[in-house]
Each structure stands twice: as structure tokens, then as C-alpha cells.
Amino acid sequence: MIDKVRAIAYKLQLPEGSRIYPVFHISLLKKKISSHQVVSFILPACGEEDSIILVFELVLKRRVILSNQFPVIQWLNHWKNLLVEKASWEGMNFIPKKFPHFQP
């Protein structure tokens, strides 16, 4: 953290070459729990309009949720060059559509 901007925002020190604004709302931040610090100097690849290009790596878990009274299968996907904590739940049809070379 570099500076407290307001009661609800903090300016952070980001890696050199970052193309995002360094001020974050407190709802996007997590309290530091341990003294172990993981620093990554490899930034994810960015595409048009500075959006992160996701590269699928593997499925960590599977679950079934109800959506409009129907069961939907979701996968917890780990993305290459992102921490495991950044894994996201997606419908099982998302990966084969977005990444046609994927073999379940």
C-alpha cells in the first residue's frame, strides 16, 4: 500500500509496466493474514482495451447448482499465469466453446 486515498479507497504499488489504475475500492482488497509474501513479476497477457487474456489450464473442481429450477454443471477453472485464488466457476460448456482444443 502506498497511500489511503479516502476512507474507502487505497492506492497500491503495482509492478512496473502495469496498465491499470493503482487506486482500488476496499471491497476489492483482502486483509493480509500471514507474513509469507508471494510476489509475481509476470503480468498476465492483455488484449484489446487492456482486458486480460485468459488461458485455460485445468479444472480444479466440479459442482452442480440450480438455475431456474434446472441443474447446471459448473467447473472451477484455473487460469494460466494467475494465482489459484483467481480460479473462477464457469458453466461446463464455457471451456469447450471458448477453448476448442480442450479435451475433458
Domain range for 26: 1-30
pLDDT at 98: 80
Closest CA to 56 of 15, 17, 92, 20: 92
pLDDT at 61: 92
Mean pLDDT per segment of 10 residues, for the chain of length 104 residues?
80 84 86 70 71 81 91 89 85 81 67
Does residue 37 sit within a domain? no
pLDDT at 74: 92
Q: How far apart are CA 32 and CA 56, in angstroms?
A: 28
Overall pTM surpassing 0.85 (yes/no): no
58 and 104 inside one domain = yes
98 and 61 inside one domain = yes
94 and 57 inside one domain = yes
26 and 56 inside one domain = no
